[in-house]
Chain A
Amino acid sequence: MPEVTGGAAPADTAREDTSREDTSRAELPPDPHRLPPPQAWFARDAERHLLDRPKFCPMCGAGITADGISTEYWSGDSRHFMTWCGHCHWFGEVVRFDMVTITEVEH
């Protein structure tokens, strides 16, 4: 069960969902990165987004925190970051997963 950090809502213990590892708010970068209050229902998801989103372009290596955008969506256990680099204009997905799963065609 994930460690509850920062006084999460009681019901949070039932939301053992995600494939995300525990985190401490101490890991979080300092301002100006603001987050929902720690007791917010989905505060941990916002924390993980801030920590795990791509910081550099996979193509050219430029910083994309300010000059780019990553929108996160989920598919199964995977977390997809649809990413655009403002420097080289690369547009694609960075996928974070804990286990590689392959669906084989029947043979």
Chain B
Amino acid sequence: MLTVEQNEELTQVGPGTPMGELLRRYWYPIAFEQDFDSVLTKSVRLLGENWTLFKTPKSGRYGIVAEQCPHRRASLTYGVVHEDGIRCGYHGWKFDFDGTCMEQPAEADNQNFRDRVQQKAGQAQVMGGMVWVYVGPGPAPELPRFDVFVMDGVKDCGYTTLPCNWLQIMENSVDPHHVEWLHGYYFEFLGQTSGFDAPKSFQKKHMRTGFEEMEWGILKRRVLEGGSEENDDWKIGHPLVFPYFMRVGGAGIDQMQIRVPIDDTTTWKLFYSNHAPQGGEWEPQARPVFYEYLWKDENGRLITDYVEGQDIMAWVSQGPITDRTQEHLGRSDAGVAMLRKMFKENIKKVQQGEDPLGTVREPHEIIVLPCEKDKFGAEREFANAWINGGSMRYSPMKEQLLDLHERAWAGREKANA
């Protein structure tokens, strides 16, 4: 339980808010490379502000500026893209990648008007088939090359836009007990009442959970019924990557769960997976496969017969912003309290002019995150359940993914025989 003020501080992401200022110290994926195949600009919304993302026609460089032209407020998304910036379609004002106004065609140039209309601008880069942006103060940190986005394998990414605050999704990542209930017991109930077989691997009871602060966020560990501290689930665990990712994995699938705060009540939710089962063989991909997964049926009812749909039910049904003055946490919610403290702690760091947790300043090739490989002690079953019973069931390459894992498993069995 929190006070109204604490809840507002933790959930408001707009410019000038404490959380908004913290979140502006990180890079975010906000579009896909393929979005620019036929048009060179795209309107995007991030942290409560509207932006124009653009790609230059020859060099393929990406830039991001505030969407509204400072002249008469027309959208720069309908502008002209040059190699050195973007020009407003309305009266031709031109801005470079830093937002500096370079031209005002209808104004006399022998004055300082241009210098007084610096447009808000950020930086943009491509990684893993996605366009990432940084819209905070300079100098921008390095774009963290987390393993899932740059490792070899077959990449598949489901996405959707959810009508809720990003923090209630993040809090789910430090709530291990929900797995055995939401994805275990409730899934089983749905299976029994709707006539399908719910996966069993999620039903194991949690015997112990642990949360440990680490350099990238919070490392989450668990011991499941029948397991021990020698299992990967405890010995390695997996991290909540501060402030908006969760890294999970197992059974030859590595996944980054991404929660982009679009504004206070909207989150872009992506499940970015890399498939590289031991012994598997695959062709190099030109680009990852991106697709939208469903979470509401034609009657407006939430779709809960798959894992991520169940999570979405839990996030969205809390309302646009969870009223934390009305919640009742228990001992099993210690991770949630720890995460809130981590946000508050890093808000303060930013206010004191320090880099917050997870800021990367050194160039690097890859950041390898700790993550269990053997998931719930159910390798083959788990890969199958994850693909068929998760958002990947909406993937246009679902059958190829199942085949990849099945052939890899058969090869390992043969090698071990």
Most chain B Cβ neighbours within 10 Å, of A33, A36, A68, A72 = A72
CB-CB contacts of B341-384 with A at 8 A, as 1s and 0s? 10011001000000000000000000000000000000000000
Question: CB distance B345 to A74 under 8 Å?
Answer: no
**B328 shortest CB reach to chain A, Å:** 6
Does B326 interact with chain A (Cβ within 8 Å)? Answer: yes
Instruction: Determine whether the beta carbon of B341 is less than 8 Å from that of A91.
Output: yes
Instruction: Determine whether the beta carbon of A82 is less than 8 Å from that of B341.
Output: yes
| A86 close to B348 (CB less than 8 A) | yes
Contacts of A96 in B (CB 8 A): none
| A75→B336 CA distance, assembly (Å) | 15
**B contact residues around A33 at 8 Å (CB):** 3-5
Contact across chains for A36 and B326 when beta carbons are under 8 A apart: yes
A 21-55 binary contact with B (CB < 8 Å = 1; else 0)? 00000000000111110001110011001100100
B341→A40 contact, CB < 8 A: no
* One of A34, A40, A50, A73 near B334 (C-beta < 8 A): A73
Cβ distance B12 to chain A, nearest Cβ, rounded Å = 15
B117 contacts chain A at the CB level, 8 A cutoff = no
A70 to B295, CA, bound (A): 34
Given the interface contacts A45-B1, A82-B338, does A74 sit within 8 Å of B344 by beta carbon?
no
Known interface pairs A33-B4, A50-B3, A86-B348; A73-B326 also in contact (CB < 8 Å):
no
Give 22 A-B contacts (CB < 8 Å), ordered by A residue. Answer: A33-B3, A34-B4, A35-B4, A35-B325, A46-B326, A49-B1, A49-B2, A53-B3, A67-B348, A69-B6, A71-B2, A71-B336, A71-B341, A73-B1, A73-B328, A73-B331, A73-B334, A73-B337, A74-B328, A82-B334, A84-B341, A84-B345
**Smallest CB–CB gap between A53 and chain B, Å?**
8
Identify 12 new A-B residue pairs, CB closer than 8 A, beyond the known A36-B326, A71-B336: A36-B325, A42-B325, A49-B3, A67-B348, A68-B344, A69-B6, A71-B329, A71-B340, A73-B328, A73-B331, A74-B328, A80-B331
Number of interface residues of A (CB under 8 A): 27
Measured in the bound complex, the distance between the Cα atoms of B4 and A32 in whole Å is: 9
Least CB distance, A94 to chain B, in whole angstroms: 12
Residue pair B4, A69 in contact (C-beta under 8 Å): no
| With contact pairs A33-B5, A35-B4, A45-B1 given, residues A69 and B344 touching in the complex (Cβ less than 8 Å) | yes
Task: Tell which of B3, B323, B330 touches A75, judged by Cβ atoms closer than 8 Å.
Answer: B330
- Determine whether B98 belongs to the interface, using a CB cutoff of 8 Å to chain A: no
In terms of DSSP, what is the predominant structure of the interface of chain B? helix
Check if B341 sits within 8 Å of A73, measured CB to CB: no
Interface range, B side: 20 to 34
* Partner pick for A49 among B325, B330, B338, B344, CB 8 A cutoff: B325
CA A36 to CA B323, docked complex, whole Å: 9
A49 and B338 CA atoms in complex are apart in Å by 18
Residues of the A chain whose Cβ atoms lie less than 8 Å from the Cβ of B336 = 71
- Would you call A74 and B330 a contact (CB within 8 A)? yes
Find chain B residues with CB under 8 A from A89 CB: 345
B99 to chain A, nearest CB (A): 34
Residue pair B333, A73 in contact (C-beta under 8 Å)? yes
Question: For A42, what are the chain B residues with a Cβ–Cβ distance below 8 Å?
Answer: 325-326, 328
Does B334 lie within 8 Å of A46, measured CB to CB? no
Q: CA A32 – CA B6 in complex, angstroms?
A: 12
Residues of A within 8 A of B334 (CB): 73, 82
- Give the chain B neighbours of A50 by CB distance below 8 A: 3
Contacts A45-B328, A73-B330 given; indicate if A84 touches B5 (C-beta within 8 A): no
User: Mask for B304-339, Cβ within 8 A of A = 1, else 0?
Assistant: 000000000000000000010110111101101110
- CB of B339, distance to nearest CB on chain A (Å): 9
A41 proximity list for chain B (CB < 8 A): 326
Known A67-B348, A86-B348, A89-B345; contact A72-B6, beta-carbon cutoff 8 A: no
